[in-house]
Amino acid sequence: MTSILVVAERTYSVTLTSSWISDTVNLCKNRARVAVVVSRKFCPDLSSLKEIDSEVHVFEVPDGEDGKSITSLTNLWNWLGAAGFTRSDLIIGIGGGAVTDVAGYAAASWLRGMDWIAVPTSLAGMVDASVGGKTGINSDYGKNLIGAFHSPLAVLIDNDFLSTLSDRDFSAGMAEVIKCGFIADPEILTLAAAHSVPTLRESQADLSELIRRSVTVKAEVVSSDFKESFAREALNYGHTLGHAVEIYSKYQVRHGEAVSIGLVYAAELAAARGLISADELALHRTLLTAYQLPVSFDRQAWQKLAPLLALDKKARGTTIRFVALNGIGSTVRLEDLTSAELDAAYERISS
C-alpha cells in the first residue's frame, strides 16, 4: 500500500490499495449516515459495503458527463435532504471522474460542506479527476463551469477496477498520464513508450508505477497552488482545445481523447514559437498514437471550436490563455497568441 499526501485546505492521502472495501469501511466508522454515489450504468458490486456500521444510502446518477448536470445535483440534494443527512455524515463517490466530480460538489454544497471520499474506478479518475479537490458540474455554456474547491477526506485507488474498463476507456485515461509526463515527469514518457494498451494492461507493476508517478505530479502541483492561481494551470495542458472538442461533440468524444487532440494542438503552438523542438512535437503524436488516441480533428469544426476557447477557465477577459511547454517537464503560459497562430496550428492538426 502506497500513500501520497496532498496538502490543500486539509491534508489528505491518496492511497494506492488492493483492498478498497476494507479501507472504505474503516473510513466510515462513527458516521450515522453514509451516502454512496454511483453510476447508474456502471455500478460496481457494493455487497461488501454491508459491513459499514452506518445507515447506508445508495444514490445513482447517470453515467459519464450526463451525470454532471444541474438535474443530477438537484436530485442528490433532494435525496440527502429526505434522508436527513447532516454535516457529520459522509458522502462516497464510487465511479469515473464524472461521478466523483458531482459527488464532491454535492458534498461541497450540502449544508455548506461535509466530508466525502473518492473511490475512482477509471484510469482518468485515478490520476486526475479524483485528486486535487476540484468538484463540479457542467453548464450549457461549458465544462466544469459550476463548482467548488472542496478536498476529499481520502482518495482510494484500487487497480482491480481497471480490469473492467474497455480498451477505449483505458486509452482515454492514458492521455492524462502522458500529460503528467510532458509537464513534470519525463520518466512517465519513457515508461509509457515501452508499452502499448495490451502490454500495459498485462503489466501491473508498470501500470501501478505510472499511476503513482501521475498522482505524485498532481499532488505536488495542487499542494503548491490549491486554487489555481498560477502553478496549477499546468495541469490543464491540452485541456483548452480539449474541452472545446468535448462540448462540440456533445461529449461523444471521451475526455482523454479530446485532451489528446488538445495536447498536440498546444504542442503545435509551442513549436511554432520555437519553445519546443520538432522531435518534442513529434513525441506527442508518437506516444498518443501508440495508445490509440486521436491526434487530429475535423477541419470543418474549427469555426465552431474557436469561439468555445473563450469559455476555458484560464481565459481572462477577452484573452485566451494556453498552457504550453518550453521543454519536456517545463511549462509556460501563452497569452498573446494571434488568430492567425491559432488558425495555423489547427490547420496542422486537422483532417
Q: What are the pLDDT digits (tens) for 70-115?
A: 999 999 999 999 999 999 999 999 999 999 999 999 999 999 999 9
Apex CA 240: angle with CA 235 and CA 246, to 5°? Answer: 110
Q: What is residue 245's predicted lDDT score, i.e. its pLDDT?
A: 97
Q: What is residue 317's predicted lDDT score, i.e. its pLDDT?
A: 64
- Whether residue 36 contacts residue 48, with contact meaning beta carbons closer than 8 Å, is answered with no
Q: What is residue 316's predicted lDDT score, i.e. its pLDDT?
A: 62
CATH number of 167-349: 3.40.50.360, 1.20.1090.10, 3.40.50.170, 3.40.190.10? 1.20.1090.10
Q: What is residue 326's predicted lDDT score, i.e. its pLDDT?
A: 96
Cell 478498497, residue located: 20
| CATH class belonging to 2-164 | alpha beta
- Whether residue 122 contacts residue 165, with contact meaning beta carbons closer than 8 Å, is answered with yes
Among 56, 60, 55, 30, residue whose Cα is nearest residue 44 = 60
For the chain, domain boundaries:
2-164, 167-349
pLDDT mean values, one per 10 residues, the chain (351 residues) = 92 95 93 95 80 93 93 97 97 96 98 97 95 93 92 96 95 98 98 98 97 97 85 93 95 96 98 98 98 98 94 69 95 93 97 85
The Cα–Cα gap between 69 and 146 comes to 10
Apex CA 127: angle with CA 95 and CA 60, to 5°? Answer: 10
Q: What is residue 44's predicted lDDT score, i.e. its pLDDT?
A: 78
Query: Distances from the Cα of 193 to the Cαs of 173, 265, 289, 310, in angstroms?
Result: 15, 20, 11, 34
Q: What is residue 311's predicted lDDT score, i.e. its pLDDT?
A: 76
Cell 481572462, residue located: 316
Residue 225, class by beta-carbon neighbours within 10 Å (0-12 exposed, 13-18 middle, 19+ buried)? middle
Q: What is residue 313's predicted lDDT score, i.e. its pLDDT?
A: 63
Cell of 261: 487532440
Among 111, 112, 50, residue whose Cα is nearest residue 83 = 111
Show Cβ contacts of residue 131 under 8 Å, excluding neighbours closer than 6 positions: 6, 14, 118, 155, 215, 218, 219, 222
Q: What is residue 48's predicted lDDT score, i.e. its pLDDT?
A: 81
- Whether residue 324 contacts residue 270, with contact meaning beta carbons closer than 8 Å, is answered with yes
Q: Which helix (H) or strand (E) holds 147?
A: strand 142-149
Residue 128, class by beta-carbon neighbours within 10 Å (0-12 exposed, 13-18 middle, 19+ buried)? buried
